[in-house]
Amino acid sequence: MRPSRRLPMKAAVVAVALVAIAGGFWVLRTFDPNAVGNLFPRCMFHALTGWFCPGCGMTRALHALAQGDLPRALSMNVLLVPMLAAALLIAWQELGNRRLLGPTARAWLYSPALWIGLLLVFGVLRNLPWWPLRLLAPG
């Protein structure tokens, strides 16, 4: 892509992302996923197996964050907050003009093996019945 087209494309991507984030924030702020008969889908993995997947509790955690309730968000899905921080770092790294991350940090943060491994380990640990691991289960 020519450099003259790169800036408008980047601006369009950022604009679409901001509209999607604002819309998602509004939905999560307006509708409560804890309410009976809410519009959010249930976790199919949990419904089929009875186990918590790494994403179980994420909608409720995002709802709690939209309400400004960080402790409740962490009780629903403790992995969500650091993953959001990492996503913001990656977005700033890619879209910003400054480079925040060094090559080593960037290699770790951009590693698919790290994220897959983290999700797999988290998914297993949150289903174990022993304290303190059972605190990893959604709220």
20 contact partners, CB below 8 Å, separation of at least 6:
none
Average pLDDT over residues 91-112: 82
Indicate if 21 and 60 belong to the same structural domain.
Answer: no
Do 53 and 18 fall within a single domain?
no
Distance CA 89, CA 81 (A): 12
Give the mean pLDDT of 102-124.
92
Q: Residues 57, 114: one domain? A: yes
Whether residue 58 sits in one domain with residue 99: yes
Q: Note down the domain range covering 123.
A: 42-136
Confidence check: pLDDT of 30 > 60? yes
Residues 23 and 51 in one domain: no
Q: How many CA atoms lie within 13 A of 60 on its CB side?
A: 20
**How many independent structural domains does the chain possess?**
2
**Looking at the domain assignment, is residue 98 inside a domain?**
yes
Both 57 and 115 in a single domain? Answer: yes
Inter-residue contact 9 to 1 (CB < 8 Å): yes
pTM over 0.85: no
| C-alpha to C-alpha distance for 16 and 104, rounded to whole angstroms | 30
Q: Are residues 120 and 82 in the same domain?
A: yes
CA–CA separation, 91 and 95 (whole Å): 6
